[in-house]
Amino acid sequence: MINVQRLAILLLSAWVLLATAGCTLLNPTTNLLIEAGHNLNPDSDDQPASVVVRVFELADDEAFLSSDFFR
């Protein structure tokens, strides 16, 4: 009878460990390094002008991959 209880506890413990393995609380980060050249976006005096860079986090890449950006 004790072996059955030990087996049940072992199986329950293994199930709990496996069930919680997929529940991660990690917040993945991405580091970006953007370097611009000295001649980027020149104005009328050939001086570099400001550039706005926007970075978006996609919830799903399906719409992005199916978009036509060269219309």
Per-residue pLDDT of the chain (71 residues; tens, 9 = 90+): 567 787 888 888 887 777 776 666 666 778 888 888 888 888 899 888 888 888 888 888 888 888 887 76
Structural domain including 12 reads: 2-66
pLDDT of 52: 87
pTM over 0.75: no
* Domain annotation covers residue 23: yes
* Domain annotation covers residue 71: no
Overall domain count for the chain: 1
DSSP assignment string, 8-66 = HHHHHHHHHHHHHHT---------------TTSSB-TTSPBPP--------S-SHHHHH
